Amino acid sequence: MMKRYLGLTLGVSMLTCASLAGAASQSPQQATRPAEADLPFGNSASGGYRHELQLAQNDANGNATANPASSDKCARMQNDFDIDLHELVKAGCQPSQAQIAKLMDNPVGNLVILFNQFDYTALKGPNSGGTHYMGKYSFMPTFPTELGEDWNMIHRIPISYTDAPVNKDFGDLAGMGPDTIIHSPELPGLLENPYDRTHGMGDLGYVGLASPKAPIKLANGAKLVWGVGGTALFPTAEYDVLGQGKYSVGPTAVVAYLGQDWSLGVFPQHWWSVAGDDDRDDVSLTNIQYFIVHNIPGDAQWRVGMTPNVTVNWKATSDNKVTFPVGLGISRLFKFGQLPVRLGAEVQYSAIHPEDQLGSRWNFRLIFVPVIPTFMF
């Protein structure tokens, strides 16, 4: 039972998958021309881009707009949501906040995202003696690389640290037969305190998605973006009870509708175990993140909606396979210096959850997402 619990509940947010969108803005109210050291990512940009970004900042502030034709040109380019932002910056213009926001809404967008996520989950089950709580911090750097002229490869590397209500000594009993478990010196302590807390690093993950650079344009002005690829889990957990103990691989994909008012999408992943500890259960696990988000126009680029992760543990019994949460959350853009950062919070309830074992009931999620547009480099 405990191994099944781990395979399901600790996998609920192992790879929260889609690079769901936040929003970014460039402030038009800055009153002075920035020094080179104050430019966003100035140490990484080439000298030419530093100069272009200074010109763009001046254009957006209205401070050195001696040429009205240049200002009109920038205004036209800033209203073009299909433009290559490299070209806009080269023209001496700064991307508008709406352009940055739309780029961040794209789960396969041309961005470097430093995704920080904290989940605090309430767990219940039969004979659990009440509610137990699990905390999990996930750091998920996401970055694109080019696959020729028309495609990008989007990489994500989930790294997690978990504080779980499960005695770490359960890991020592994995694969043992009943007679061995009964005579194990760890058994009395486990029976006395099975929910003793264990904290440490979890399994390492990888996601790779190949996606066309050009979106599919729809008749209503919306766009459809997609990608396909592979995903993997590696048994790097600090304690056995915090991971699967298996090398697991499988397919993944993403598809998203990006409209003016709504962003909708789904990001499924599946893993099958292919190697690892023979004493641990085989893995056949599906994780599906779906997102339904309403885009609120304005300087802050608010987003309201939900981004839960559905899990299906195909090795569990029928009443314990599925965890299906629904939720409601809100996020908006803040700026730390020149760096756009998305902050958000969401509450989720598992409308479908395991019946015969410990599983998720409620989850509270916080996100902190610094975003680095790759056109800055």
pLDDT of residue 28: 37
Query: What is the structure's pLDDT at 191?
Result: 54
Q: Which two tokens stand for residue 357?
A: 């074992």
The CATH topology of domain 2-25+105-376 is Porin (2.40.160)
Q: What is the structure's pLDDT at 357?
A: 85
Q: Between 348 and 28, whose confidence is greater?
A: 348
Q: Is the pLDDT assigned to residue 75 strictly greater than 60?
A: yes
* pTM for the model: 0.74
Identify the residue with better confidence: 340 or 344: 344
Nearest in space to 199 (alpha carbons), one of 140, 239, 235: 239
Q: How confident is the model at residue 205 (pLDDT cuts 50, 70, 90)?
A: very high
What is the predicted pLDDT for the residue at 79? 76
pLDDT tens per residue, range 19-59: 333 333 343 333 333 333 333 333 333 344 344 445 444 44
Q: What is the mean pLDDT of the chain?
A: 78
Q: What is the dihedral of CA 104, 338, 139, 359, to 10 degrees?
A: -60
Instruction: List the structure tokens of 349.
Output: 């309830």
pLDDT at residue 108 is higher than 60: yes
pLDDT in tens, 244-299: 999 999 999 999 999 989 999 999 999 999 999 998 889 999 999 999 999 988 77
42 Cα distance to chain centroid: 26
The model's pLDDT over 128-146, given as tens digits with 9 standing for 90+, comes to 778 999 999 999 999 999 9
**Euclidean distance between CA atoms 356 and 126, whole angstroms:** 6
Residue 327, strand partner residues: 348
8 A C-beta contact, residue 373 and residue 95: yes
Output the pLDDT for position 323: 95
Question: What local confidence, expressed as pLDDT, does residue 138 receive?
Answer: 96
Q: What's the mean pLDDT in 113-136?
A: 90
- pLDDT for 377 equals 55
Identify which of 87-96, 200-209, 365-374 has the greatest average pLDDT.
Answer: 200-209
pLDDT at site 324: 96
Domain ranges of the chain: 2-25+105-376, 36-95
* Percent of the chain at pLDDT exceeding 90: 45
Distance CA 14, CA 219 (A): 37
Mean pLDDT of 159-184: 66
pLDDT for res 330:
96
Looking at residues 223-246, what average pLDDT do you find?
95
- Residue 158 reports pLDDT greater than 60: yes
What beta strand segments (E) does the chain contain? 111-124, 132-147, 151-156, 159-164, 198-201, 204-212, 216-217, 223-234, 246-258, 262-276, 284-295, 303-306, 309-313, 322-336, 339-352, 359-373
Tokens, residue 142: 């996401």
